[in-house]
Amino acid sequence: MVVIGAGQAGLSAAYHLRRTGFRNGTGFVVLDHGKRPGGAWQYRWPSLKLGKAHAIHDLPGMALGEADRDRPASEVVSEYFGRYERTFDLPVLRPVDVLSVHDEGERLLVESATDTWAARAVINATGTWDRPFWPYYPGQERFRGRQLHTADFESVEEFRGKHVVVVGGGASGVQLLLEIAEVASGTTWVTRREPEWLDVEFSPEVGRESVAKVDRRVRAGLPPGSVVSVTGLALTPDVRRGLAQGILDRKPMFDHLTEHSVVWADGTEQHADAILWATGFRAALDHLAPLHLRAPGGGIRMDGTRVVADPRLHLVGYGPSASTIGANRAGRAAVTEIRRYLDGLG
């Protein structure tokens, strides 16, 4: 039994495997290519303080406890995940980069550059951080300023006194735009679609409805789509301030780039020193390509966490479970189903 990825989803799965009687070594193993514990959280920019992250849910069986909300989320979560792995003696091997998963009849072969694990079932929990999505716009290669993706962002300091164009209507784009605007000489915010503001308290009902929408998409074999595309953008106090100050004055997508500017189809031009592509992430599933799982709709057809085309494979932290709470639940659901599946094999 192999779990690929030791973020929230992978650790939740490992915890439940442990509880249902899988043993380290011969029973199951967790492979993770991070340098240290923490899943994608270890890479989040230092200015993302714990108090600014959306609700981070405790891993099953052990609470994060009291933590300084002014400390970077990357440090706090990394330490917490490390404690968690030690407390439950979870068999995490790192760094192990899984390059491919092949179907060898009775077993799935999980391969790194140096090792192969033959698994009766695989729980894939590889998240999205490793696949930042950069759309292409003409002239991108000619632009002389700095271009970076959310995944490369480290500090607002490098934007002090500069004009920054932020591309993208997701939660990260908005959060980074508001921070950059405090030091930049000017900012321009562009998004493909008009932003949809979520003007109601984020309640469990709103959350459930959003998850149900993404679930319907993956059951139909469509790509999951981003969470914000179904929830809308929360009108937090910071966001309301940004709207009032005109920082969140959204412009439509530009048409192309020149050496020093972005240009809209009507010829309007905006000088830019830097462009931040806050254009999201895709599921990091390249290593599953040998299994040929893509449905005609471009996604992987799912039934809960189970891949419809191969009941030995579960995707957790994917689609409807791509949140810290969703990842927790998906880990448990996947283990329950796999246990049943393996028991059925006798």
- For ligand FAD (CB under 6 A), the number of binding residues is 35
Q: What is the amino acid identity at position 273?
A: D
What count of Cα atoms within 13 Å lies in the side-chain half-sphere of residue 176? 33
Backbone φ and ψ for 13, nearest 5 degrees, come out as -60, -45
Backbone region of residue 61 per phi and psi (left: phi > 0; alpha: psi in -120 to 50; beta: other values): left
Q: Reduced to 3 states, what is the DSSP secondary structure of residue 325?
A: helix
Query: Of the listed pieces 13-21, 124-132, 206-214, 230-238, which binds ligand FAD according to CB under 6 A?
Result: 124-132
Residue 129 touches ligand FAD, criterion: CB under 6 A: yes
Rg (CA), the chain: 21
Q: Which of 2, 3, 14, 39 binds ligand FAD (CB under 6 A)?
A: 39
Site for ligand FAD in 163-202 (CB under 6 A): 172
Residue 319 touches ligand FAD, criterion: CB under 6 A: no
Residue 34 touches ligand FAD, criterion: CB under 6 A: yes
Q: Which of 1, 2, 3, 5 binds ligand FAD (CB under 6 A)?
A: 5
Residue (261 or 324) nearer to ligand FAD, CB: 324
The nearest distance, CB 230 to ligand FAD, in angstroms, is 14
Residue (81 or 254) nearer to ligand FAD, CB: 81
Residue 239 touches ligand FAD, criterion: CB under 6 A: no
Q: Which of 110, 276, 281, 313 binds ligand FAD (CB under 6 A)?
A: 281
Query: Of the listed pieces 204-212, 229-237, 256-264, 322-330, which binds ligand FAD according to CB under 6 A?
Result: 322-330
Q: Reduced to 3 states, what is the DSSP secondary structure of residue 213?
A: helix
Query: Of the listed pieces 114-122, 187-195, 259-267, 280-288, which binds ligand FAD according to CB under 6 A?
Result: 280-288
Show the site string, 139-158: x = touches ligand FAD by CB under 6 A, - = not: -----------x--------
Residue 124 touches ligand FAD, criterion: CB under 6 A: no
**Cβ atoms of residues 167 and 188 within 8 Å:** no
Q: How far apart are CA 229 and CA 245, in angstroms?
A: 24
Residue 54 touches ligand FAD, criterion: CB under 6 A: yes
Closest CA relative to residue 274, chosen from 109, 176, 108, 146: 146
Residue (17 or 56) nearer to ligand FAD, CB: 56
Q: What is the amino acid identity at position 147?
A: Q
Residue 7 has a CB neighbour count (10 Å cut-off) of: 26
Q: Which residue has the tokens 């915890």?
A: 15
Query: Of the listed pieces 123-131, 135-143, 264-272, 332-340, which binds ligand FAD according to CB under 6 A?
Result: 123-131
Which parts of 149-203 fold into alpha helices (H)?
171-181
Q: How far apart are CA 244 and CA 254, in angstroms?
A: 24
Q: How far apart are CA 44 and CA 154, in angstroms?
A: 8
Q: How far apart are CA 145 and CA 128, in angstroms?
A: 27
Q: Which of 6, 13, 14, 167 binds ligand FAD (CB under 6 A)?
A: 6
Number of residues that this document lists for the chain: 346
Question: What 8-state DSSP symbol labels residue 280?
Answer: -
The nearest distance, CB 118 to ligand FAD, in angstroms, is 17
Question: By the criterion CB under 6 A, which residues form the site for ligand FAD?
Answer: 4-10, 31-34, 39-40, 53-54, 56, 96-98, 125-130, 150, 172, 281, 284, 287, 317, 322-324, 327
